[in-house]
Structure 1
Amino acid sequence: MNDSTTRQCRLAYLTSIPSPYRADMVRAWARHNPHLAISVFYTDPDDQGRGWDADPVGEGVTETRLPVIAAFQKYGKFNRKLAAMVRDHDVIMIGGFEQASYLTAALLAKLYRKPVILLFDGFSPARFGTEPAPILALKRLTVRLAQGLFANGTVGARYLREQLGVARDTPIHNQFLSHREAPIETARQRMASKDKAQIRHALGIPDDGRPVLMTCGYLTTRKRIDLIIDAIARRPHAQRPLLLVVGDGALREILQRQAAEAGVPAYFAGFRLGADLASFYLAADAFVLASNDDPWGLVVNEAMSAGLPVLVSDACGVALDLVKDDVNGFVFRTGDAASLADALTRLETMDCEAMADASRSLVAQWTPAHSAASLGKAVADAVSAMAS
């Protein structure tokens, strides 16, 4: 790169949409890497219906929405001004594999002789070996175009090596995909004078002395809330926790009816964000994520930061790094209600305070600051590889 010793390295990060958790990470990337001048480019004109309210990143980071030329059902958006983005920056970081603009940006970077970093959030362990050959071919092409790899956790590294053929001696830097700590701290301050029973009362959660098992996410088939209800229903009536469901979606009425018919006490709190969502973590005794396909599961990070034991299906990427059986929770078999019911039984015998401490300790490394340090190494690798 020209003048790399006298000016900041200009890093262009191409991603789909702004998001609150990613904004926190990008702020840290800029704050902890003063040698980088970071610009973020978004391929999508809106938030894809997520309902997120992401503040500007700040920290000197510029943000630009690229005009859309075309949209493809499986391959995302194709945008204008990609060539100018590549030309005007020293390093290009793309937020995924096969989307049209990501691949185009990587090809343009090759043309302009600019290093590329591939940022990869993760991949559901349940989907290893299931992708069609054309998709794998596109992903392998993208990997070959990248000089730096910035992948999330064990699942990200394993996928790159086992499915896409990245060599064992090629560095893969951990992205440390991070939750937002500020909403949890705000909720703690709000509820500082209340015990769990008082927090539940303040939030309108029924409280008859049962433990509260929380789950959170869009109420879609993939999240398998039905499996959680089934698992709870397998337990004796007196030992059934209250299921606290935070989130909304097309299956809400169906799930409410299933819980009522199965005799499972349940409270559906609807869609929540920020400190309002975090308050529900503080009201719960444990957290469950039963997805049958989840590249990571950032809600598990949040629950652990709030001090909850976690029960996570083995189809979630987060299970490989942040869930330790008999330490801070349990991993159960995807789609297996009996396996989840067994985990619930085992949880009853555990020291939940010790598990809460273990959750907080394990998630403490997954912070924007750690992500920033790792990104600095990925940039250095990419620049060095391009120069060699």
Structure 2
Amino acid sequence: MKILFVTNIPVPYRIDFYNELGKKVDLTVVFEAKGAADQGIKFNYNFDEIKNFKAIFLSDGNIKENKINWTIFKAIKGNYDKIVLTSYSYMTEMALLIYFKFKRVPYYLSSDGGIIKYKEQKLRKWYKTFLISGAKGYFSPSDMSDKYLEYYGAKKNVIYRYPFTSYKKKNQIEEIITDIEKEKIKTKLNIKEKYLVLGVGQFIYRKGWDLLLNAMEGISDEVALCLIGGKPTEEYKRIVAEKKLQHVYFMDFMKSEELSEYYKAADLFVLPTREDIWGLVINEAMNYGLPVITTTACVAGQELVQQEENGYLVDSEDLHIITELNCYIKKIIFSKGIREQLSNASLRAIKKYSIENMACSYHEHLREDN
């Protein structure tokens, strides 16, 4: 089976995914560009890792979201059994999608998640419906994403589920890390507090770190909060000063190997996001057996976090969200029994979410759909 994927940039976990899928099919992937200067995230690109698929780059530079790269139409020429598009918001892929619609070329649309905007302008909704509807099939990672696709015109019977993740099976731990081992790693990382609450993600308003910082007020001096994702904003510094938080540490982006040590050392993971169409850090935290607190505005949270089983979901629009975060943090941190129960449940729930299983899911659906 000869498959064509069209996507934006070669994010590392995507290269892993295409390598796995390339073991099963004759795969060509067209990337819009090799980099993305304005995304605020530092990826560790290693193009030598491209092994099991043919990669075509429309540009050696950074992607231009609002400009059409017309070479896309030359790059996709060939005879393919199935074509998969991964985005409709970038101008180049949008132009290709519209071209396929008018030429009646069957294609699939792959989604990493989505949140319905009920209050959006009618014209904008019409245009999104025009772009999303009409695909031969859709790949969706969650119930929320299914509803999103249906809302914008996708037919329910051609929406296929897949386990969205960024981790290979070899990166998933088999058993939760013991308190003794966590203590050793904390010492290695120069974390002097007994417990560690971890948050990972860009330091932007949408991620809700201001909410978490406020929620740390009054929590024991035995608890450290480590936020990894950039340089602290003036607002974060102000909250720390006003609340007299003595055990908050801000850290820049890290390579995955270094970041994994913080996941291993942590006792709890919190993502207080105001909106995340998925949130792969939830997968990452669960892969290390961490209890998770996140919000109802996190699609990964809705799909992977079961209330009181492996963590807690709080309402992102609740006026009392800071109080709720504070209560759940203390409940988990100061009860070893609850913490271990949630940790074990996280490991069980995340097992099927591997790059290998993601590739198998795509392969099965593409092979069976004729």
Does the Cα contact within 8 Å between 2:85 and 2:109 map onto a contact in 1? yes
Q: Which residue of 2 aligns with 1:205?
A: 191
What is the CA deviation profile of residues 285-317 of structure 1, one whole-angstrom value per residue up to 9, with x for unaligned ones?
000001101111101100100110000111111
The residue matched to 2:29 in structure 1 has which SS? strand
Check 1:218–1:373 CA distance in 2 against 1; reply closer, same or farther (3 A cut). same
Give unpaired runs (5+ residues) of structure 1: 1-7
Q: Which of 196, 205, 215 matches 2:199?
A: 215
Q: Distance in 2 between matches of 1:147 and 1:284?
A: 43
Q: Which residue of 2 aligns with 1:164?
A: 152
Does the Cα contact within 8 Å between 2:18 and 2:52 map onto a contact in 1? no
- Do structure 1's residue 309 and structure 2's residue 291 form an aligned pair? yes
Query: Following superposition of structure 1 onto structure 2, how do residues 189-268 of structure 1 map, counting pairs within 5 Å?
Result: 195-207=181-193, 209=194, 211-233=195-217, 236-238=218-220, 241-249=223-231, 251=233, 253-264=234-245, 265-268=247-250
Does the Cα contact within 8 Å between 1:220 and 1:249 map onto a contact in 2? no
Q: Which residue of 2 aligns with 1:81?
A: 71
Query: Following superposition of structure 1 onto structure 2, how do residues 267-282 of structure 1 map, counting pairs within 5 Å?
Result: 267-282=249-264
Q: Which residue of 1 aligns with 2:108?
A: 117
- Do structure 1's residue 339 and structure 2's residue 324 form an aligned pair? yes
Q: Identity percentage over the alignment?
A: 22
Q: Distance in 2 between matches of 1:155 and 1:340?
A: 23
Q: Which residue of 2 aligns with 1:357?
A: 344
Q: Which of 53, 56, 65 matches 1:61?
A: 53
Q: Distance in 1 between matches of 2:29 and 2:63?
A: 20
Does the Cα contact within 8 Å between 1:117 and 1:149 map onto a contact in 2? yes
Does the Cα contact within 8 Å between 2:8 and 2:63 map onto a contact in 1? no
Does the Cα contact within 8 Å between 1:174 and 1:371 map onto a contact in 2? no
1:257 deviates by 4.0
The residue matched to 2:125 in structure 1 has which SS? helix
What is the CA deviation profile of residues 172-202 of structure 1, one whole-angstrom value per residue up to 9, with x for unaligned ones?
112322122489569x9xx999722221121
Does the Cα contact within 8 Å between 1:38 and 1:62 map onto a contact in 2? yes
The residue matched to 1:213 in structure 2 has which SS? strand
Q: Distance in 1 between matches of 2:172 and 2:180?
A: 15
TM-score scaled by length of structure 1: 0.83
1:323 deviates by 0.3
The residue matched to 2:220 in structure 1 has which SS? helix
Give unpaired runs (5+ residues) of structure 2: none
Does the Cα contact within 8 Å between 2:288 and 2:347 map onto a contact in 1? yes
Q: Which residue of 2 aligns with 1:96?
A: 87
> For residue 344 of structure 1, what is the amino acid of its counterpart?
I
Q: Which residue of 1 aligns with 2:134?
A: 145
The residue matched to 1:129 in structure 2 has which SS? coil
What RMSD over aligned residues (CA atoms) do the two structures have, in Å? 2.9
1:140 deviates by 1.7
TM-score scaled by length of structure 2: 0.87
> For residue 289 of structure 1, what is the amino acid of its counterpart?
L
Q: Distance in 2 between matches of 1:338 and 1:21?
A: 36
The residue matched to 1:199 in structure 2 has which SS? helix
Does the Cα contact within 8 Å between 1:183 and 1:278 map onto a contact in 2? no
Does the Cα contact within 8 Å between 1:150 and 1:173 map onto a contact in 2? yes
Check 1:155–1:221 CA distance in 2 against 1; reply closer, same or farther (3 A cut). same
The more displaced of 216-225 and 142-151 is 142-151
The residue matched to 2:302 in structure 1 has which SS? helix
Query: Following superposition of structure 1 onto structure 2, how do residues 26-65 of structure 1 map, counting pairs within 5 Å?
Result: 26-31=18-23, 33=24, 36-49=25-38, 50-56=41-47, 57-65=49-57
Q: Distance in 1 between matches of 2:131 and 2:364?
A: 20
